[in-house]
């Protein structure tokens, strides 16, 4: 199980994020314990109010628990993981909240602890928590028989195309799968010996090497997005400068953007707009199915929850009826019958909870499999659209070279130079 954590403030913002139903297909508040309040937002406000009596600025400890996407993970596994985190980090007895999220066929959990000890009015220290969480996560992979990710086997075997949040969002705005554009830059970096060769390789793929305002060497996309080369190739700025030379020999970002606008954008903007329109139309029926599936799954869970609550009421009434009152109840206490019946009721109530959990798990598991099947179709459609968009960027570089060499008129008459057949 991959565990990601942070010490933070902003209790209200975190609560709103955890309850966001528009970003997640299913949101379930599993536990709010150790607080006077019994709802998530009330607990967040309570944690903040308690922190005001201390000097602590980051009074919350938030952990996301991410099991493998295709594994059937019971609630007890998440609870065991939370218990292990508490024991290893010294958070036993601290108030906590657990929320389950489901999105794109994947289920994960968020656990949030208050760091403030109400007895001493001090914050629980969390030294080296990232290293400790990595050890806990690895042990959870081994205990549950899950395949270890490469990053847990050897830190050098991590996916080199992994993005930070800012990089991901920036590349998404350009209309290309961010992993593909990062892989493209890394490919050009590996095959180039110097800055000139690297710039040429980038332009053949629709990207332009430029001098960044503060970042040294950067790549500029046809839409004007600026991507720092050092981050894309996972190298130090000094290493990039040694290989590519002085960044001043290249155009500035502003000059590169004007250059693209003058030579490439007018010719390709129509193609790109058409590709985005077709991609939107292709995704529309899949997203409609996703919306319908979400509503259906929510209704199924509601029906199951209502049925379990009704059954629990009947069972609780039956258990209460076993405990006699009045003189008969006093006699039962004297003879010990009362304690035997109470023990029987406690056992039946416990197994009733386990039965309800198992039923809900089976329903969630079947729904996740159905959702994962649809997500596979969505992912395939997105990958196809990404390849098409990347091809358009390559065409942009080719048209730019033709215009620069004065062959644009000839190219226009060449049927092989026409834009891609977007309908395919």
List per-residue pLDDT tens for the chain, 424 residues long: 889 999 999 999 999 999 988 888 889 999 999 999 999 999 999 999 999 999 999 999 999 999 987 788 888 999 999 999 999 999 999 999 999 998 888 889 999 999 999 999 999 999 999 999 999 998 898 888 887 776 665 444 344 445 555 555 555 555 666 777 888 888 899 899 899 999 988 888 878 899 887 768 999 886 678 889 988 888 888 888 889 988 888 888 888 877 776 766 566 666 677 777 777 788 888 888 888 888 899 899 999 999 999 999 999 999 999 898 899 988 988 889 989 999 999 999 999 999 998 899 889 888 888 888 888 888 888 887 777 777 776 766 655 554 454 333 333 334 343 333 333 3
Nearest to 25 by CA among 349, 277, 372: 372
Q: Residue 141 falls within a domain, yes or no?
A: yes
Q: Residue 199 falls within a domain, yes or no?
A: yes
- Same domain membership, residue 126 and residue 19: yes
- Same domain membership, residue 274 and residue 248: no
Contacts of 246 (CB under 8 A, 6+ apart): none
- Same domain membership, residue 11 and residue 148: yes
Q: Residue 366 falls within a domain, yes or no?
A: yes
Q: What is the pLDDT of residues 158-217, one digit of tens each?
A: 444 455 555 555 555 556 667 778 888 888 998 998 999 999 888 888 788 998 877 689
Domain span at residue 378?
268-404
Q: What is the pLDDT of residues 291-345, one digit of tens each?
A: 888 889 989 999 999 999 999 999 999 999 989 889 998 898 888 998 999 999 9
- Same domain membership, residue 365 and residue 231: no
- Same domain membership, residue 192 and residue 314: no
Supply the pTM of this predicted model. 0.54
d(Cα 125, Cα 42) in Å, to the nearest integer?
24
Q: Provide the H-helix boundaries in 323-423.
A: 326-335, 337-404, 408-413
Q: Which of 139, 157, 175 is the last residue of a domain?
A: 157
Q: How many CB atoms are closer than 10 A to CB 368?
A: 22
């Amino acid at each position: 199980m991959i565990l990601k954590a942070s010490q933070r403030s902003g209790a209200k913002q975190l609560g709103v994020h955890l309850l966001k139903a528009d970003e997640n297909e299913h949101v379930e508040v599993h536990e709010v314990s150790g607080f006077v309040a019994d709802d998530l937002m009330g607990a967040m406000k309570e944690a903040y109010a308690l922190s005001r009596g201390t000097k602590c600025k980051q009074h919350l400890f938030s952990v996301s628990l991410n099991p493998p996407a295709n594994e059937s993970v019971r609630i007890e596994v998440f609870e065991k993981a939370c218990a292990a985190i508490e024991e290893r980090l010294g958070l036993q007895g601290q108030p906590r909240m657990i929320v389950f999220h489901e999105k794109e066929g994947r289920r994960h959990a968020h656990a949030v602890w208050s760091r403030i000890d109400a007895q001493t009015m001090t914050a629980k220290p969390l030294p080296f928590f990232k290293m400790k969480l990595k050890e806990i996560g690895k042990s959870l992979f081994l205990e549950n028989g899950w395949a270890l990710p490469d990053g847990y086997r050897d830190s050098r075997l991590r996916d080199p195309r992994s993005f930070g949040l800012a990089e991901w969002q920036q590349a998404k705005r350009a209309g290309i799968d961010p992993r593909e554009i990062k892989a493209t830059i890394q490919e050009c970096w590996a095959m180039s010996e110097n800055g000139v060769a690297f710039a040429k390789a980038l332009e053949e793929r629709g990207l332009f090497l430029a001098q960044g305002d503060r970042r040294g060497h950067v790549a500029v996309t046809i839409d004007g997005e600026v991507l720092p080369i050092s981050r894309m190739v996972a190298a130090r700025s000094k290493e990039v400068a040694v290989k590519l030379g002085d960044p001043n020999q290249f155009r500035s970002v502003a000059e590169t953007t004007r250059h693209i606008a003058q030579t490439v954008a007018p010719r390709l903007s129509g193609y790109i707009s058409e590709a985005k329109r077709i991609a939107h139309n292709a995704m529309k029926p899949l997203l409609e199915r996703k919306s319908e599936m979400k509503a259906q799954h929510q209704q199924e869970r509601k029906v199951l929850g209502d049925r379990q609550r009704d059954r629990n009421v009947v069972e609780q009434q039956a258990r209460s009826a076993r405990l006699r009152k009045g003189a008969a109840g006093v006699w039962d206490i004297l003879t010990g019958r009362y304690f035997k019946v109470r023990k029987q009721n406690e056992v039946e109530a416990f197994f009733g909870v386990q039965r309800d959990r198992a039923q809900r798990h089976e329903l969630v598991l079947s729904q996740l499999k159905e959702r994962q099947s649809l997500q596979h179709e969505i992912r395939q459609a997105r990958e196809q659209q990404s390849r098409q968009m990347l091809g358009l960027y390559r065409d942009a570089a080719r048209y730019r070279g033709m215009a620069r060499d004065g062959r644009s008129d000839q190219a226009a008459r060449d049927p092989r130079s026409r834009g891609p057949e977007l309908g395919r």
